[in-house]
Amino acid sequence: MSKIDTTRPFLPVRIAVMTVSDSRTLETDTSGQALVSRIEAAGHVLADRTIVRDDVQQITEQLRNWINDPLVDVVITNGGTGVTGRDVTPEAFEDVLEKRIEGFGELFRMLSYRKIGTSTIQSRALAGVANGTYLFALPGSTGAVKDGWDDILVFQLDSRHRPCNFVELMPRLREHLSEGDHHG
């Protein structure tokens, strides 16, 4: 069973938050604010926060900026994961991801199913890694953001979580990018 090992140190990570929306502002972005509040309450650092329109090029550009910023360890987006024409966050992720974390979307939908039933099938929540940075795409509803953080990310982004967590893998995420790769 998973648990927090209090004998290990907590290592805060630097998290950037992107809300994908054509209509929200910082004042009306309840989902983004719920995420920011949870990030800070957990002891992590808010590295940056922005709102980007539902546009693949704008989302991709912001993702690349953060992926290339050594002061950002994790990017969490909210919004744009549905199936309508303006929902393009997964397409933007596909433009930048090096590796997908398939289990994230699967686990999110399983947990969400318990709360909203088959409606969870409309979510294309996903995650992956690019240039040593974790990327997580959550739906835009405040409930979905809370579920994604409270039920998955708060644990996987805690260095004390056992049996394993994403933080302990961070030093090794860029191994394939190093010069002089050794092949056995």
Model pLDDT for residues 102-119, shown as the tens digit of each residue: 999 999 999 999 999 999
What is the pLDDT of the chain when averaged over all its residues?
A: 94
Beta strands in 26-132 (DSSP E): 45-52, 74-78, 99-100, 126-130
pLDDT score, position 178 = 63
Which amino acid, 3?
K
- For a pLDDT cut of 70, what percent of the chain falls above it? 95
The Cα–Cα gap between 56 and 58 comes to 6
* Class of the CATH domain delimited by 10-167: alpha beta
For the chain, give every domain's residue range.
10-167
Helix residue spans in 42-139 (DSSP H): 56-67, 89-96, 102-116
Radius of gyration of the chain (CA): 16
Question: Rounded to two decimals, what is the model's pTM?
Answer: 0.94
Model pLDDT for residues 6-29, shown as the tens digit of each residue: 999 999 999 999 999 999 999 999
Model pLDDT for residues 47-70, shown as the tens digit of each residue: 999 999 999 999 999 999 999 999
At 49 the three-state DSSP class reads: strand
